Structure 1
Amino acid sequence: MSPTRALRRRPLRGAAALAGAAAFALAVTACSTSTASSNGTGSGTNYVGGTGEISTIEPGHRVAAPELSGKSVEGAPLSLADHKGKVVVLNIWGSWCPPCRAEAPHLAKVAKETESQGVQFLGINTRDLQTAQAKAFEKEFAIPFPSFYDPSGDLVLRFPKGSVNPQAIPSTLIIDRQGKIAVRALKELGADELHEVLDPVIAEK
């Protein structure tokens, strides 16, 4: 197995149904990162963990992303399945989160740069209790891609625990053309850093 690149992550614990949603809500309120986690080579997940922020998974060890569907921040139907066959960059964010605001211009930039390469950016807006806040965020940063409106974190909790589920706000997942999770970043990303992990997934055949 190849090593996983990572630096720091903030763990998020969630259980099923209402208990999981409550845990998620409490965990992300601070919108911060903490100390390193241990190497995640066990647990039968075929996932190589590390001691930091960004994890890359070899094609043979990737797990499928869950089905995600719902309404966008603008109220339109939105589904991950609609982008089957594309590389999808999925960013979990909230308008209340300073690191999310810091990375938003970089996400918008890379989304425009990679659109012609078969890349679709999507967001999951969480913990914004009104869509007005999320819409203002999207307008302020000229976000060119849609986001699921997920105020209670239900969509986030659909990801398999203990492997590549998002565990911080912001988090970014890169899903390959086969619908499997190739990269997880538990931090805000700059444009260069995002290209560094996204470009190899784009180049995969």
Structure 2
Amino acid sequence: MTHRHPVTKPHPRALLVILLATALVALTACTSISGTNSGGYITGDGAVVQYDPADRSDAVEFAGETLQGEELDLADLRGDVVVVNTWWSGCPPCRTEMPMLVEAEKELAKEGVSFVGINIRDNSPAQGQAFERSFGVDYPSIYAVDGEALLAFSHVTNLRSVPTTIVLDREGRVAALINGAIPGKVTLTDVVEEIAAEEA
């Protein structure tokens, strides 16, 4: 005599949890990201998101040591529009956009705009310095492989998407965001000039 065991159907919520867990595993496998020192990276779509002044959150608080060993605090740049760009030397989109960032920094300096890089993955400051020399980067980059930068900007974006460019207004608030490589230098300069022209 054959005994049939009753088939238990999973609860819909349990199915949802299983599906979400499966998707997370698949995403991790595709990107090879397990922390800020991983060899993988996630690329964004390069879309520009701008925030109206009334919708901007509090000023970003972030400080650290640059690749050259100097202390840098974003709070010291209040009054400037600040372009913050995350990068690391092993990221192909970072290499593609860096010449545009270097040109934009030179063009926008006279308008009270500062540029700051955040290196979130290189194995050593020396590795990041070599990258800067090869592209003629004059502005400072904070060496932040400890994950602190991820926390500082977590209210607007996931900085594991590399590169990411964030524009802070003169009060230090996030005014614009580009997830992924910048579409072009003119796109960046137009956005920054619009924010720089805002009344304090």
Query: TM-score when scaled to structure 1?
Result: 0.75
Are the counterparts in 1 of residues 111 and 196 from structure 2 also a CA contact under 8 Å?
A: yes
Are the counterparts in 2 of residues 89 and 121 from structure 1 also a CA contact under 8 Å?
A: yes
CA RMSD of aligned residues (A): 2.1
Q: What residue in structure 2 maps to residue 31 of structure 1?
A: 41
**1:54, distance to aligned residue in structure 2 (A):** 1.7
Q: What residue in structure 2 maps to residue 150 of structure 1?
A: 144
1:169 aligns with 2:174: no
Could you tell me which amino acid in structure 1 is paired with residue 171 of structure 2? Q
3-state SS, counterpart of residue 76 of structure 2: helix
2-side partners of 1:179 and 1:54: how far apart?
A: 18
Instruction: Give the alignment of 1:45-194 within 5 angstroms.
Output: 53-161=47-155, 163-189=156-182, 190-194=184-188
1-side partners of 2:90 and 2:146: how far apart?
A: 14
- The superposition leaves residues 144-201 of structure 1 with CA deviations (integer Å, 9 ceiling, x where unpaired) of 200000123322222233x345351000000001111000100111211211221210
Could you tell me which amino acid in structure 1 is paired with residue 41 of structure 2? C
Q: What residue in structure 1 maps to residue 18 of structure 2?
A: none
- The superposition leaves residues 11-43 of structure 1 with CA deviations (integer Å, 9 ceiling, x where unpaired) of xx9xxxxxxxx85437x7432436x7xxxxxxx
Are the counterparts in 2 of residues 123 and 148 from structure 1 also a CA contact under 8 Å?
A: yes
Are the counterparts in 2 of residues 112 and 144 from structure 1 also a CA contact under 8 Å?
A: no
- Residue 94 to residue 83, structure 1, CA distance change in 2 (3 Å): same
2-side partners of 1:89 and 1:186: how far apart?
A: 13
Q: What residue in structure 1 maps to residue 12 of structure 2?
A: none
When Rg is computed on C-alpha atoms for both structures, the one with the higher figure is 2
1-side partners of 2:172 and 2:131: how far apart?
A: 28
Number of residues of Structure 1 aligned to a counterpart in Structure 2: 167
**1:67, distance to aligned residue in structure 2 (A):** 1.3
Higher helix share: 2
1-side partners of 2:170 and 2:118: how far apart?
A: 19
2-side partners of 1:65 and 1:98: how far apart?
A: 30
Q: Any stretches of 5+ residues in structure 2 without a counterpart?
A: 1-23, 25-32
- The superposition leaves residues 66-88 of structure 1 with CA deviations (integer Å, 9 ceiling, x where unpaired) of 31111100001111111111100
3-state SS, counterpart of residue 36 of structure 2: helix
Higher relative contact order (CA 8 A, sep 6+): 2
- The superposition leaves residues 74-103 of structure 1 with CA deviations (integer Å, 9 ceiling, x where unpaired) of 001111111111100000000110100111
3-state SS, counterpart of residue 25 of structure 1: coil
Q: Any stretches of 5+ residues in structure 1 without a counterpart?
A: 1-12, 14-21, 37-51
- The superposition leaves residues 32-66 of structure 1 with CA deviations (integer Å, 9 ceiling, x where unpaired) of 436x7xxxxxxxxxxxxxxx722111110011243
